[in-house]
Amino acid sequence: EWLLKGLSVYLASEMDGGASGSRMAQHLRELLSSSEAHELPPLAEMLPDHAMPAEQLDLAYAYAWDTVRYLIDLYGEYPLRTLLAWQRSGATLVLAFEPVIGISLSSFEGDWAQSLALGHARQEWVDLALRFNAMEVQDHITYLASRMFAGRQAGTPGAARAAEYIAQEFAAYGLLPAGDVLLPEDLAQDAGPSNQQEIQSDSRSYLQRFPIEFSTLLLNPQLLVFDDQTQAPEVFIYQRDFILVPEVIGSGGDVQGELIWVHDGTYEDMNLEGAIVVRQPHNPLIDEVTRAVEHGAGGLILVGFTTPEHALAKAAIPHEPLLEAPIPVMELTDAGFERLLEITGQTRHNLNTSPPALSLEMQVQMQLLLSDPQIVDSANVLGLLPGSDPNLADEVIILGAHYDHVGDNPGVEYCLEVIPSGPGLPEEVLCDVPSGRRYPGANDNASGIGVMLEIARLWHEKGYRPSRSVLFAAWGAQEIGQVGSSFYVQNPVFPLESTFAVLQLDAVGGGSGFYLEVNFDWEREAELVFTMTRAEEAVDGRLAKVTTIAEGDHVPFREAGVPTLPLSWRGASEENMPQGYDDEIEIYRLSVAGRMVALTLMTLAR
């Protein structure tokens, strides 16, 4: 009865894309609790379905399924076939088990229970995970966050240099280049040191190239307010007094016009004739821009509530913007609006009770200089460690992390560092270009790349080979909308139906929380979460499990039905802050993340 239940689910999982196994995996926590409480019956005494209470049936099937796959993982399918042949000849399970498997059934049950407590990780894997070296990760982070990469904005030379660096590291760690589709026989190749010269000289690329539309700021945006009598304009500072609206890409250019406060969002009967509109938005962004353009506005300034610190947050120019506006669009921060009120002699109350349109008797100059849009190459960097088991090598686990960030501001080379000044915000040193800030992207996401590279290095150094194949994937162009990972899902190097799981690393080196956080869907990813939970205990980790919806490179895979675990440090900033305001990298957090991910990956790839 044990084999009947266990094999029925095991074989069904091969036929239904793993759905049967996913249902069983939802009972693994309950199974572990029952095992530790010694509440499970001996396998030889498992009852048939009709003799078992309905509330116990799911747990019994999970028990049978997990023990059968443990038997196959440990001893292969041939001993199982021999065991079935003994049973067909009339031998009992208890008598047949030891001659066929080599240990008694009761000893096997004890071994399985101990293995389940570790999430089926082997001790040698635990020992290897504990050798994860966070200082090696820190070296990768320091290098990728240095000035030479200029913030790694997708489409720029800095991002291309980062991709080249990762590819070189992949080659040094014996990974096969997987930018092009590998032939089945490639999976059987030895990727160890003896094959190193062949790998490095292989003409195939580690890069999976894809096009993106690329545009960038040529100069920091300018916003000047002045009247006819004032010779020196009031200069509003980018990322202090005003910011860009990331969902809207303007046509750029340099426009000047009369500043008009528009209180009526319908713009009824208004002909603005090149005026610069400023208003508190109450309509969807698309409607705000469209109505301003339709009524002749030369530019649009929206009043926001952004604080000085959050004004420093930067979004990359999106791959597919919500709206391509033909006029420049900017947003005043809360501090910037207060400054505008002071300059114009207005109050919030006056503007909130004003006529539909009110001239503020000021001129405004808006300058937004963008490079011409161009189609350029970005790339995913893909390195493969082929599986050692011929029966499992065509199944792939992906360890992914994006390497791009949002890019430094124009003029950054002239700007000095910020100096912390006690509580509150750091005090900025005067810069030749006030907004010339660096966005090094240390935690987001050089940390994820560094952890990935250290796992590859550690495995290569110790000669570890998984049974399943592992694809190390550094995604490009994540910050503009998961473009690289989406391209892979649409053009997979390995079939998605053969992709066993994806572990996605993003911001794993710093944050305000105390735990590494995993986002999951219980119905689909219960086994992955169970495995990582057991890894947490085995390597002294810290794990928080959440089911809230999160954005990132895991989304395209999850939408395609691939079990996926996105991992980041709790409290890590998603705002893309500049140097001096961004997450501080901590060796302890890198170490916790690396140990847990390494052990989980080895256990899943067993």
Residue 132 contacts residue 541 (beta carbons within 8 Å): no
Q: Residue 76 and residue 529: Cα distance in Å, rounded?
A: 25
* pLDDT for residue 192 is more than 60: no
* pLDDT for residue 435 is more than 60: no
Look at residues 84, 77, 58, 78 and name the one whose alpha carbon lies nearest to residue 4. Answer: 84
User: What pLDDT digit, counting tens, does each position of 510-541 carry?
Assistant: 999 999 999 888 888 999 999 999 999 999 99
Which of 443 and 322 is assigned the larger pLDDT? 443
456, 542, 558, 530: CA torsion to nearest 10? 100
Q: How confident is the model at residue 191, as a pLDDT?
A: 38
* pLDDT for residue 418 is more than 70: no
Look at residues 163, 252, 153 and name the one whose alpha carbon lies nearest to residue 212. Answer: 153
Least confident of 69-83, 182-196, 413-427: 182-196
Place of tokens 């675990």: 565
Per-residue three-class SS string for 175-234: CEECCCCCCHHHHHCCCCHHHHHHHHHCCCCCEEEEEEEECCECCCCEEEEECCCCCCCE
User: What pLDDT digit, counting tens, does each position of 119-168 carry?
Assistant: 999 999 999 999 999 999 999 999 999 988 999 999 999 999 999 999 99
**Polymer length of the chain:** 606
* pLDDT for residue 567 is more than 50: yes
Least confident of 336-340, 415-419, 542-546: 415-419
Residue 376 contacts residue 404 (beta carbons within 8 Å): no
* pLDDT for residue 564 is more than 90: yes
Look at residues 464, 451, 456 and name the one whose alpha carbon lies nearest to residue 595. Answer: 451
Q: What is the mean pLDDT of residues 392-413?
A: 91
Helix or strand (DSSP H, E) at 504: strand 499-505
* Identity of the amino acid at 343: I
Q: Is residue 248 very low, low, confident or very high in pLDDT (cuts 50, 70, 90)? A: confident
Look at residues 355, 358, 333 and name the one whose alpha carbon lies nearest to residue 345. Answer: 358
Q: How confident is the model at residue 18, as a pLDDT?
A: 84
User: What pLDDT digit, counting tens, does each position of 321-377 carry?
Assistant: 667 778 899 999 999 999 999 999 999 999 999 999 999 999 999 998 888 888 999
Cross-strand pairs, 493: none
Cis peptide before 350 (omega within 30 of 0): no
Helix or strand (DSSP H, E) at 566: strand 564-569
Q: How confident is the model at residue 321, as a pLDDT?
A: 67
Cβ-based neighbours of 297, under 8 Å, separated by 6 or more: 272, 274, 275, 276, 277, 327
Q: Is residue 91 very low, low, confident or very high in pLDDT (cuts 50, 70, 90)? A: confident
Q: Is residue 413 very low, low, confident or very high in pLDDT (cuts 50, 70, 90)? A: low
* pLDDT for residue 185 is more than 50: no
User: What pLDDT digit, counting tens, does each position of 26-41 carry?
Assistant: 999 999 999 999 999 9
Q: What is the mean pLDDT of residues 82-90?
A: 87
- Token reading at 137: 């990760």
Residue 11 contacts residue 80 (beta carbons within 8 Å): no
* pLDDT for residue 319 is more than 80: no
* pLDDT for residue 421 is more than 80: no
Rounded percentage of the chain residues whose pLDDT exceeds 70: 90
Rounded percentage of the chain residues whose pLDDT exceeds 90: 68
Q: How far is CA 586 from CA 18, 142, 230, 541, in A?
A: 38, 12, 51, 15
Q: Is residue 115 very low, low, confident or very high in pLDDT (cuts 50, 70, 90)? A: very high
Which of 191 and 606 is assigned the larger pLDDT? 606
Look at residues 399, 517, 516 and name the one whose alpha carbon lies nearest to residue 453. Answer: 399
Least confident of 234-243, 427-436, 464-473: 427-436
Q: How confident is the model at residue 250, as a pLDDT?
A: 66
Q: How confident is the model at residue 478, as a pLDDT?
A: 95
Place of tokens 């998961």: 482
Q: What is the mean pLDDT of residues 200-215?
A: 74
Q: What is the mean pLDDT of residues 478-494?
A: 95
Q: Left if phi > 0, otherwise alpha if psi is -120 to 50, otherwise beta: which for 409?
A: beta
Q: How confident is the model at residue 196, as a pLDDT?
A: 33
Q: Is residue 492 very low, low, confident or very high in pLDDT (cuts 50, 70, 90)? A: very high
Look at residues 33, 103, 41 and name the one whose alpha carbon lies nearest to residue 111. Answer: 103
* pLDDT for residue 189 is more than 80: no
Look at residues 147, 184, 227 and name the one whose alpha carbon lies nearest to residue 439. Answer: 147
* pLDDT for residue 498 is more than 90: yes
Which of 511 and 232 is assigned the larger pLDDT? 511
Helix or strand (DSSP H, E) at 325: none
Q: What is the mean pLDDT of residues 90-103?
A: 89
Q: Residue 32 and residue 114: Cα distance in Å, rounded?
A: 10
Three-state SS at 580:
coil
Cβ-based neighbours of 64, under 8 Å, separated by 6 or more: 2, 3, 4, 5, 6, 9, 43, 46
Average predicted confidence (pLDDT) for the chain: 88
Per-residue three-class SS string for 36-76: HCCCCCCHHHCCCHHHCCHHHHHHHHHHHHHHHHHHHHHHC
Q: How confident is the model at residue 201, as a pLDDT?
A: 36
